[in-house]
């Protein structure tokens, strides 16, 4: 399926739900407040999808990823984790950070933030209630390793390499809201920075770990 067709397909679903909600709101016995709140969520989902599509399009047309100097990872991780903590708490999830203060990568600050935001949000969205999500960053030889791992419900081994495909929907993703572009964006940024990205089972064989390596 071409990218334009895939985007159209992804937009049709929230549009159909939105129309159904608006139709229901016109019924005499309707709980208008609740239906309008659901409609708002559908509009927000479409807006998020459009934003991700535009961002990915900019990346694919050569938007600069690599920065002129090194950017410290720890401050960005702290900001992202604090911003997303309320979302994790709604699912009784624990967010843990294991980030060395001196770790830095030659990636533009905004691009690094996008990578970390997408990795943490992805873990929160798919790990399941009560999971622990761990964000770590450290140097290993001639690379910097940034990873987000959870001990949640995981994904079949056969699906792990496909998690970076645009709009891929594995079994764990079918009942959750998401644009299906977050990890595709992560892969694009990391590879343009000369790095590599990999999805594998989390520690102890539980959950999923996304590992990004950047050259030092």
**Domain assignments of the chain as residue spans, ordered by start:** 3-60, 66-215
Global pTM reads 0.73
DSSP state of 208: E
Q: Is the pLDDT of residue 9 over 60?
A: no
**Token duo for residue 28:** 């005499």
pLDDT grade for 93, boundaries at 50, 70 and 90:
very high
Q: What is the pLDDT of residue 127?
A: 92
Transcribe 88-112 into DSSP letters.
HHHTT-EEEEEE-TT-EEEE-HHHH
Burial of 56 (0-12, 13-18, 19+ CB in 10 A): buried
User: How far apart (Å, rounded) are the C-alpha atoms in residues 213 and 147?
Assistant: 8
Residue 200: other Cβ atoms inside 10 A: 14
Measured distance CA(151)–CA(205) in Å, rounded: 8
Cα–Cα distance, 34 to 20 (Å, whole number):
13
pLDDT surpasses 60 at 50 = yes
- Fold of the CATH domain 66-215: Heat Shock Protein 90 (3.30.565)
Q: What average pLDDT does range 40-50 have in this prediction?
A: 76
Average pLDDT over residues 69-83: 93
Write out the E strands in 120-169.
Answer: 132-140, 143-150
Q: How far is it, in rounded angstroms, from Cα 31 to Cα 194?
A: 52
């Amino acid at each position: 399926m071409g990218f334009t067709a895939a985007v159209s397909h992804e937009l049709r679903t929230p549009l159909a739900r939105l129309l159904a909600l608006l139709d229901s709101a016109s019924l005499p016995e309707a709980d208008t407040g609740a239906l309008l709140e659901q409609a708002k969520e559908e509009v927000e989902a479409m807006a998020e999808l459009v934003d991700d599509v535009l961002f990915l399009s900019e990346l694919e047309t050569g938007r600069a990823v690599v920065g002129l100097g090194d950017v410290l990872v720890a401050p960005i991780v702290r900001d992202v984790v604090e911003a997303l903590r309320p979302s994790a708490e709604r699912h009784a999830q624990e967010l843990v950070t294991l980030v060395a203060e001196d770790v830095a990568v030659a990636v533009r600050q905004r691009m690094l933030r996008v990578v970390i935001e997408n990795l943490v949000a992805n873990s929160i969205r798919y790990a399941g209630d009560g999971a622990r999500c761990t964000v770590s960053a450290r140097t290993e030889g001639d690379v910097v390793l940034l990873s987000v791992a959870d001990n949640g419900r995981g994904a079949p081994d056969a699906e792990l390499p496909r998690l970076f495909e645009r709009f891929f929907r594995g079994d764990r993703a079918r009942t959750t809201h998401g644009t299906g572009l977050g990890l595709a964006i992560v892969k694009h940024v990391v590879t343009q920075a000369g790095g590599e990205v990999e999805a594998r089972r989390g520690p102890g064989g539980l959950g999923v770990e996304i590992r990004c390596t950047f050259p030092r």
